[in-house]
Amino acid sequence: MSDHKRNEGENHAYRVAFQTLGCKVNQYETDAVRKTFLDLGFVVCEESENPDVVVINTCTVTSEADRKSRQMIRRAGRRNPNAVIAAMGCQVEMRRDRENYGEEVAVGTKSRDQLAERVLAVLEKREYVSDNSDFDPASYPEFGPVISREETRAVIKIQDGCDNFCSYCIIPFARGRIRSRDRHAVLEEARLLAAEGFSEIVLTGIHVCSYGRERGESSLSLAELVQEIDAIPGIERIRVGSLEPSSLTVEFVRAIAGAKKLCPHFHVSLQSGSDSVLSRMNRKYTSRDYESGIRLLRESFEEMSLTTDIIVGFPGETDAEHRESLRFAETIGFTKIHVFPYSERIGTRAASFPEKVPARTKLERRDEFLLLSNQSAAAFAEKYIGRSVLMLIESDKLDGWISGYTPNYIRVHVRSEHSTKIGETVPVLVESVSGGEIYGRILF
């Protein structure tokens, strides 16, 4: 009899714990897989509660994410020597020769919907199972409605895969080509989340701007989906994941501006403000294109905040190109910049590029962008001192404070002097700013 069999008279349900590395898409997929385990009768628990199964959802976007994924799998095995360790996701998909780090079940990005059944089979037989199933690369794996939440926000995955093949990025190899979720399934999930009391929805994916493209839909397909969600009662705020600069046409911006509940906060990936670096990255826009798209957004959304990603130390990046990128970022006026030192990924074109930038130089350039980011965040928040903002409460009475976010994604902190509840939207008078975050009092 397996070590995981329950004694007669005890609860026969197996216990499963989950760990996730990486992005919002990964967290959504963990929540979707959790649902398949629950459907098979598993009970979800914490890793500290003696699970029968530990599922690790891995990430491979950088070499550090790769390292952490391996470490998490091995640590789970050491901490839970009698448990079935199951690894899934991008790092598993990209392993050469299907290396094993101690897991008994391994599925990449193609068979996540089968993971629970494979784990159950292993619990009975204790045999290693790898992902060798057939997979239709044009299909979107549908899990049905999923409740995936971040505080009071709920996340809906609408798309997977990417066709861009930027020279530094491993994700198209790990996730495959673009596959869009059925529109009716997305709307069904949005209605379920509204009925469950979630007032804020985040639409996420690997390349959300390409939603519907492989089905021959127009470039306005994402905007039309946002408009449909905008009409669902109970949803008060809509956010959209990272947008591509090339998608910010007059028609697209005009269409999303018609959604009254769409929050005026946009994450538009830049990666570099130097056109020569953008070309080597195989990004399909110039700095002028980027600036034009941002201008359109700002003309349509008042009080808009703008965040972005920057890669520093890309192969061949000169001091002059770095300075050009930094000056451009200052010109655009980001609210916050997420900065990443270039990480070589074997299998990408950039991995073979000469003129590697020294690690110390990459860190110095990162610090310059982080300083700009901190200054920009503080300046943006300080504009609201003495004004009122709307805060959606996400944490209540934490050390005497309530916190949440404005529509344009500034974190707000107020003393819990009134009767409030999580999920409620309240007006706040801004009294001070620290670290780019707002402090004030509720106006009643």
* Domains of the chain, start order: 15-130 (3.40.50.12160), 149-382 (3.80.30.20), 388-442 (2.40.50.140)
pLDDT of residue 11: 38
Is the model more confident about 207 or about 148? 207
Is the model more confident about 33 or about 145? 33
As a whole number, the mean pLDDT across the chain is 90
- pLDDT higher than 70, residue 135: no
DSSP 286-335: -HHHHHHHHHHHHHHSTT-EEEEEEEES-TT--HHHHHHHHHHHHHHT-S
Give CA–CA dist 160/182, Å, rounded.
12
- pLDDT higher than 90, residue 12: no
Average confidence (pLDDT) over 25-40 = 93
Reported as a pLDDT band with limits 50, 70 and 90, residue 204 is very high
pLDDT of residue 139: 76
Half-sphere exposure of 350 (CA within 13 A, CB side): 25
**pLDDT tens digits, residue range 294-319?**
999 999 999 999 999 999 999 999 99
Average confidence (pLDDT) over 352-373 = 96
- pLDDT higher than 80, residue 126: no
- pLDDT higher than 50, residue 10: no
pLDDT of residue 388: 96
Percent of the chain at pLDDT above 70?
A: 93
Please choose, from the candidates 357, 274, 360, 371, the residue with its C-alpha nearest in 3D space to the C-alpha of residue 323: 274
- pLDDT higher than 70, residue 123: yes
pLDDT of residue 97: 62
- pLDDT higher than 90, residue 98: no
CA distances from 113 to 33, 63, 144, 203, 364 (A): 7, 27, 11, 21, 43
User: Hey, which residues does 53 pair with through a beta bridge?
Assistant: 16, 84
Reported as a pLDDT band with limits 50, 70 and 90, residue 136 is low
**pLDDT tens digits, residue range 99-108?**
788 899 999 8
Reported as a pLDDT band with limits 50, 70 and 90, residue 134 is low
Contact 28, 148 (CB under 8 A): yes
* Phi, psi dihedral angles at 310 (to 5 degrees): -130, 135
Per-residue buried b or exposed e for 94-104, using 16+ beta carbons within 10 Å of the residue's own CB? bbeeeeebebb
Average confidence (pLDDT) over 47-51 = 91
Contact 111, 88 (CB under 8 A): no
Reported as a pLDDT band with limits 50, 70 and 90, residue 128 is low
Average confidence (pLDDT) over 141-170 = 86
**pLDDT tens digits, residue range 56-78?**
999 999 989 999 999 999 999 99
pLDDT of residue 124: 79
Which range, of 12-16, 84-88, 264-268, averages the lowest pLDDT? 12-16
Which range, of 32-46, 385-399, 424-438, averages the lowest pLDDT? 385-399
Read off the DSSP letter of residue 357. Answer: P
- pLDDT higher than 60, residue 20: yes
- pLDDT higher than 90, residue 141: no
Structure-token match 């089968």, residue found:
114
Reported as a pLDDT band with limits 50, 70 and 90, residue 8 is very low
- pLDDT higher than 70, residue 130: no
